Structure 1
Amino acid sequence: MTASQVARFVTALSRREQVALALLWGWVLLVAGGPLLLEPGATGDLSGYVGLVDNRETIDAMNPVAAVVYWLGDANCHTISSRSYTYAGNQMPFCARDLGIFAGLALGFTIALRRRPELSLPLVLLALVPIGLDGTIQLLTDYESTNPRRLITGLLAGGVTGWALMIILEPRQNQGHG
């Protein structure tokens, strides 16, 4: 798509769709760009536990934008270093699977905006089974998934969820009451 095609696409959207699109892609850019917001080596190993902010000292030393993204990652994701991507000398604020989910949400929502496709239960299940299997097998056995596999299963699950989000936000036509 050219810049003018993107501009036409976005201006044709409703205000609600534009806001949702901006929020989703803005969040993906903040998460994916998190390591670039910091000096190389600023994060160290962020491995921790879900539901705890266990890297407070490291996060407190960050600039305000990075601190918010990394604080949310620390509180909501295990951020185990071996399950997270690292670049620019810094670990990402969320694990590879969460990155896939976020990117999939934005991508699925964007595709649904352009194509307005129907969403079926078999498609939803098909997209969610890989993440369920990968995570469950890893939890219950000595199998260790890979970051590319985590990213891909997250993309699939996030994609179908983003598609569903578009359907939820779309005005319901021809569904009169009474």
Structure 2
Amino acid sequence: MVIVAGLAILIIYLVFRPRNPKFDITSATLNAAYLDMGYLLNADITILANFTNPNKKGRVDFHYAILDLYHGGHLLASSYMDPFSTMSHESRFQDVHLVSSQVRLSLEQSQQLKKEVDNGRVKFEVKGLFRARSNLGSFLQYSYWLYAQCTIVVTSPPTGVLIGRKCTTKR
């Protein structure tokens, strides 16, 4: 019985060759970033997220998707995305608007952010948590968590555009 189950899993794997979806940031715009009273951050950033299903067969459903914006390891903003699906070999773009209001930063973090804005290269981390379900035909479905981490560098606001990015997606 165990041998038959193992053979069935091997055959399914060889037929479908499932691969993990990929997350990437296509563009980002830093619309605003300023400090009230020297330590309360107000920021507005828009991200165009790209979800790619690299599988030749089957679709991927994202039931839970949340993006968090960090600067220097400090959480600035979070955004939930509505559920969506990607068909085989499809990329889906999602516009994500992240706004932080009166987020308290330490003196060290405030000085670092001010220095980055003055230099024209502001570095943020974007972390994503996604609950995905792969549908390999009508008979085989399995769910799993995906973890995305991106480091992005944008120019200074109000026209801050993406000048660098590095993203990884892990299961």
Instruction: Tell me the TM-score range normalised by the shorter chain.
Output: under 0.3
Normalising by structure 2, we get a TM-score of 0.21
Normalising by structure 1, we get a TM-score of 0.20
Tell me which protein shows more strand as a share of its residues. 2
Tell me which protein shows more helix as a share of its residues. 1
